[in-house]
Structure formats: C-alpha cells, structure tokens
Structure 1
Amino acid sequence: MRLQPMRINVFNLHCIFRRLEICEQSLPIFRVKSFTISKKQCNRCRKTDKVDKVGSCREKVDKVVLKRKVIVLSMAQLLHFLSHSHLGSIIMNDMRRQQFVLIKGQLKLVDVDDVGLEEPRCSDDFDCRTLIDNLHYSSPSSHNNINSLKCINSRCSGFNERKNVFNAAKHFTTFLLPYGAPDTLKNRVEELIAKFQNQVSSDILLEEVIRLKDSFAKGLYMGEQTEKVAFRQVRYADLIGLHDYSCKGSSSFSSCRISVSSVQEAKAMCQSQEICRAFVWTNEKSWTGRNIVYFKNNATNWSLDNRNTTLYVKLDL
C-alpha cells in the first residue's frame, strides 16, 4: 500500500526513533515502532532519525460511512483485544472516531497517545464506585453493573474494560447499530445496544456481535415467506444506469442497492415496495457474504451481455 506523503516542518516538530509501520497489521491496534520526543530532548538524535514526511494509510472514520456493521464488529474485536492484551487490561482514555482509520474495511486504532496500561489505584471498593460515578453513566442498570467492581491488590479490577465499553457505546455503537437492520432484527439490535450501554464484558459483546452478524449474513431472521407476486427470471440481463430510485437502507445515494441473503428475500423486499418493478441479482458480495441486489422501478430496455447478473421482473397478476 502506497503512503501519500505530506511535507512537514521538522525544525518545529520532533525527532523520531526507528520507524512506524502500521498499514498491514492484522490486529485492531497498530504496532507502534516509533515515538516522538520534544526538540529539547533531541540532542542525541542522529540526522537520519529525523522525519520529513508523514503518510496517511487509509480513509478516516466518520459516522456517515455506510459500513456501519463492519465498524461495530471491528470495535467489538478491539475491545476484546484491549481487555486481553499480553500487557494486561489496556484503557483508551480518549476513544473518538478521530483516533481511528479504516484499512481494507477494518477499523484500526492509530492514535495511542491516551492509552493507559494500569487499572486505577484504590484503597477500598468505595474508591472504585466513586470513579464510576464520575463517568456520568446514564442508566441506573449500568450503575448497578459497574458498582460491582472490586478493589483488588489496590487496583479497581475491571475498570479499564468497562470504561472502554462505555466510550465505545458513547461514540460508536449507540449511533451506528440501529441503522440498516431488518425489522425482524431490531429487537436483537436494541438488546445489543443496551449491553454496550450497560458495560457488559468484552467477551460477551464480541460473541453477541458475531452472532448478530451471522444472523444477518445467512438470513436467519427471516420467517416463512409467502410469494404473493410472480417473477420472470431473465439470465444475464442487466439494467445498468436505468430505472434506479433511492430507497431506505441503500448503500448508494443514486440507486436502491441493498444486500440480501437469498433470492427469496429480494423478492419479498420488491413485493413490499409498490415502486419496485424488478431487481437485478448480482454476483457482487458484501463483507458479510450477502449478494448485492439493485431494485428497479421499471424493467424495459434490458441488455443481455452480463454473465454476472440475473434480472427478476415482477409480473402483474
């Protein structure tokens, strides 16, 4: 992956030791191979230690990014990693989207300035309860859950994990999870949001997020589907750039582009929309393995030269 260089003024900044390689890490947090020090501490730096370029690996994270479910899964993986690090439980004191980038669709933590490697000190359980109260949790149930923290060996055991989960809920999952979920999954989504807000363990959260992803990917949320409308199937047909319309849940602003688990789900979605007259089934896959479908408000002037698509046309009964 090529880095896009940007010139900086090294005389006003810092020396750098070794180098930073962060683009191709598989972990949810980058491996830091360098750090910066102030100019006053730079007396022993070699000329070759100075940096004159800074690169950006990938796109910034924003709440408007359409890969919401990817971000939520990556966040759950990060929370689990931070809780089970070989260094012990790591705390992210500042966990906002500005601390992350997306690389190959995966959320990566790149700003580790506010990382802590120790649990807060305490003399008794009351000290831990005071720390929790200062975080201003909103729901009484979260108070009951967090206040079970104990002062063990002069440390508030479990505080780092709980604060990480709280920050993840505050800045990510509470806003990202509700959008784009099928109606039959909304109750499970709300339950998952509540678990984030109530700061359950990262083990449980990761397990629940993976289970929700699998249900979504395989269409396990679908019940018995009755085909009320017949469809004509036309292999290799496509309607590229024709008869598009915007719809709820679309990953495109200019068309109704939605991932589905099966042809049956696509038919059910089309027959539930009065405007839908056809849909194009493609071999394109979403990150969960679902097929991408384009819903159309008409089915005229199709082409027969795309071996990766099948057109389904709604028939009038």
Structure 2
Amino acid sequence: MPGPEALLALLAAPVLLALALVISGPWRLLDARVPLSLMQELERRQTDLSRLAAAARARDAPALPPGALGCAELHGVAGVSLAGSGITKVVLRAAVSPGGEEIALKAVHWAGSDVSRCLQRYRHQEGCYRLASYKLLKEAVLLQSLDHPGVVKMRGQCYDRRLGLEMNVVTMLELGTPLEMIRLLQTPWEERFKICLELVELLYYLANSPLGSIALLDFQPRQFVIVNGLLKVTDLDDVSTEELPCKADEDCALEFPTKSFAFQCAAHGKCEGINEKRNLFNAYRYFFMYLLPHTAPFTLQPILAGILNATGDLRYGANETLRAFQKVLHLYKSGLYLQKKPSHLKEYIVLKGFRNKDTEDYKCWPSYSHLGCMISVHNAEEAADICSSHPQCHHFIITPRSTWTGRLLTLFQSNLTDLIPGGNMVVYVKRPTASRGFL
C-alpha cells in the first residue's frame, strides 16, 4: 500500500476531470477478477451515488465557483502535514500557491480500517480503493448541494487515474480547527451557548435541506470543526438523505445506548421525521447536556432545563428547538433576563482617561482572559453588581471589546496600581466604605 510519500505524490497529480466523469464511468473499468460480492457492493454504492447526484442536478445544485481549485493547484502545495485520519479518509493540511492559503485535503486512507477490512475479505486492491472512494465522491456531491454557514465549504476537487488502473480522488475544503469539548467546557457560558445555537441552526437546515431531511449517521463532536469562529460539520460521507422505509410502526424504532423511541410508519411507507429526531437527540446527548446548563445565568436556567427535557425526550422537533434557542438569545442580548434588584452603581466613582497594564490579577471562572477576571456584561449596572459580589474586586473597566451578542467585555480588578493615566478607558472604582452612607 502507498506510504505517506506515495500518497503525497498522488495528491500532486496535475490532471483535472469533472466529478461528473467520476460518477458516470470509472466503476465499470474493473477487470473480471473482481469478486462478485465486491462488484455487487460497488454497484449498490454506484446506484446510490447516481441517485444523489441526479437529485442534486434536479434541484440545480450550484457548481463549484469560478477559481475553484483543481489538480494543477495540488502540484504546487507546500507545508503538507497530517491533520487527522479516520476509518476511511486521511486529512492533510497544506498551503496553496500563490498566497499560501491553508486548506484541508481529503483522500482515501490506505491504512484505515475500511480499506483494511475490504482487503482482508476480497484481496482486490483497486476494488477496495474504489469502494472507499465512494464516500469521498458522495461527500463532494453533498458539499456542492448544501449551502449553509454550518456546512464546511468545498474549495475544489481532483480526480486522477493516470497511474495504471488506480483511481485517485481528492477533495479540497476550507481548513478548520477540531472541536475540543474539554476546552469548550472551560469557556464562558455565552460561547458554549453560541456553539449549541449554531448547531441547532444547522440541524434545522438539514431537516429542510434541498435534498430532503438529512440524518448525520455518525454524529460525533469529531465530525465538527471551527472555521473563523463558526461551528461547521466537516464529515458528510456517512449520512442518509431518505427517511427509513417501513411497513409497520415496529420498523420505526430509534435506539440509542441509554434510550429508545418509537415513531409511526406513515401512509407512504416512510418513518417520517426520524432523520430530524435522530439528529436532535444526538445534539442533546453530545452537546446540550454538557454545554448548556453549566454556569448559565440563573434566570435562564428554567428555560434551558425545558430545552434539555424536550430534546432529551424528543418532544421538540428542529423548528421548536430553534425557536426556544432564539427566545433564550433574545432574553440574553436584551438584558431582560437580569433580575430586578437595587443598583450598586451609585457605590462607584467614575474615572476617565486611563489605560491598563496587561498584568495578572485575581481570577474568576470562567473568564475571557487567562490573566485575570474578564466577564461579559449587559451594562455598567450589571458590572457593578458583579464587582460588589466579588470580595477581591476594587474596580472594573468596561473595555472597547464586545462579544458576539454585543455584550461588553469587562475587566474586574483588585489592584489600582495597574491603571496608567493617559488612555481612553473609563474606570469604575468602589467608594470608600465610610463614604457610602452619605450617598
């Protein structure tokens, strides 16, 4: 099997053929020595791929944009390194000339378990490669058919079969960073809510996509990446674009390790809504359970608990879930979630014209800064309330920076010597305790 050097050589082949050519013909070039069962499996996947491509064409799926990358660009890639690998595909990180833009390259993983199992069973290298390539081709069709901020963008493709009968398929995608759940759990609630909201917006789109309701069959956090701060699904090779066929309600069971659900078999012989509900429960068990409740604002917790209960019991569909998330977002952005209580702002003196040293101060968790306590607030009154609740807090600074919701990033500090005259920051300093009684 090709090693890393041979794989890189294949990726650099400067020949570009349209994906339509791949779909229309290469499977038929296999020789007569291919085992019958392997040929039948290839034909089934070819039929599935052709059906999906026909559905995409019928809906006028957009082609790759002008300037899309091809095999010629692969010839000049630099800085190639391994970004990840799975049972079917290997993902490489590379810089494209000119400009040095970094992209992700996907190709068949020769050492992956998909190819290995196929070789053990059929002993036919080319047939097994083509069987694995099917997933890349299917993903390419889906990526060109789905247009949503939560779906990773396809930058180009390359098909090459100059080296004998061996076929090479490469897809080129925008590069993202892997989603790290442990790191996410350590971020402020607002950032975790953003991830969950973007996921719900994606699932709503998949439930109503141009290709029908789409189920992510291999739904795992590792299937997602962050691109320019946005959550995006990057693995679409293992999906279903059709609802499960059925003859009776018993055929419409949805089973998970800790829970199972029953659905009705619709008159047209499909388990209607099962794809949408599969995605939602997976979002609940992999994302919502961990990211939504922890350190959430107190007054929002009952609403979040309702979302968790409704998605965990599959009482909500994608539409209801999205509306619930939008309600939380509105309450949070508008400040309506804040409890009505006496203002602490009158206990602070306002000083203008300062700048701040980037030095360590007291910590709070979770914080937007590793140097000290930085929290987002709706306004100065909320900041004063927070500072008054921290024994260490002597003053706070509302910085010019804001979060994705427009909330103000505010630095809470204990050391007044970190303030330097001559800046444009406004500092709120606690009045001496003795003077508060004269307010």
Q: What TM-score do you get using the length of structure 2 for normalisation?
A: 0.61
TM-aligned CA deviation for residue 2 of structure 1: 5.7
What SS does the corresponding residue of 1:238 show, helix, strand or coil? strand
Structure 1 distance, partners of 2:194, 2:150, is: 12
Distance verdict in 2 for CA 1:290–1:8, change over 3 Å: closer
1:188 aligns with 2:312: no
Contact 1:231 1:313 in 2 (8 A): yes
Q: Which has the higher contact order (CA 8 A, sep 6+)?
A: 1
Rg (Cα) greater in structure: 2
Question: Are 2:266 and 1:151 equivalent residues in the alignment?
Answer: yes
What is the CA-CA distance between 1:301 and the residue it aligns to?
4.4
Change (3 A) 1:3 1:197: farther
User: Sequence identity of aligned pairs in percent?
Assistant: 25
Q: Indicate the SS of the match to 2:330.
A: helix
Aligned to 1:70: 194
What RMSD in Å do the two structures reach over aligned CA positions? 3.4
Contact 2:398 2:409 (8 Å CA) reproduced: yes
Separation in structure 1 between the aligned mates of residue 266 and residue 332 of structure 2, nearest angstrom: 40
AA at the equivalent of 2:209: S
Q: Which amino acid aligns with 2:176?
A: R
Determine the C-alpha separation between the residues in 2 that align with 1:150 and 1:9. 39
The CA distance in 1 between the partners of 2:245 and 2:179, in whole Å, is: 33
Is 1:295 equivalent to 2:405 in the alignment? no
- The answer to whether the 8 A contact 2:263-2:274 is kept is no
Residues 1-317 of structure 1: matches in 2 within 5 Å? 3-4=101-102, 26-30=148-152, 43=165, 51=170, 57-63=175-181, 64-65=183-184, 66=187, 67-128=191-252, 131-132=253-254, 134-138=255-259, 146-199=261-314, 200-228=316-344, 230-242=347-359, 244-307=361-424, 309-317=425-433
Letter in 2 for 1:135: F
CA shift in 2, pair 1:31/1:148, >3 Å: same
Partners of 1:258 and 1:293 within 8 A in 2: yes
Give the 3 Å change call, closer, same or farther, for CA 69–38 of structure 1 in structure 2. Answer: farther
Tell me the alpha carbon deviations over residues 216-253 of structure 1, each in whole angstroms, 9 at most, x when there is no partner: 12221112231346101112323322462211231233
Give, as a single letter, the amino acid of the residue that structure 2 aligns with 1:204: E
- The residue type paired with residue 256 of structure 2 is L
| Number of residue pairs aligned between Structure 1 and Structure 2 | 300
Gap runs ≥5 in structure 1: none
Q: For residue 310 of structure 1, report the CA deviation from its aligned partner.
A: 1.3
2:355 is paired with a residue of what secondary structure?
coil
Q: What amino acid does structure 2 have at the position aligned with 1:178?
A: P
For 1:193 and 1:291, the matched residues in 2 are separated by 28
2:35 paired residue number: none
Q: CA 1:157–1:137 in structure 2 vs 1: closer, same or farther (change >3 Å)?
A: farther
Cα deviation, residue 101, structure 1: 0.9
Q: Distance in 2 between matches of 1:226 and 1:275?
A: 21
Q: Relative to 1, partners in 2 of residues 1:41 and 1:205: Cα closer, same or farther, differing over 3 Å?
A: farther
Q: Structure 2: which 5+ runs fail to align?
A: 1-98, 111-128, 434-439
Alpha-carbon offset, residue 265 of structure 1: 0.4
Paired residues of 1:225 and 1:264 also in contact (CA < 8 A): no
AA of the residue aligned to 2:325: V
Moved more, 1-10 or 234-243: 1-10
Question: Which amino acid is the alignment partner of residue 214 of structure 2?
Answer: I
Q: Which structure's residues are more often helix, by fraction?
A: 2
2:325 is paired with a residue whose SS is: helix
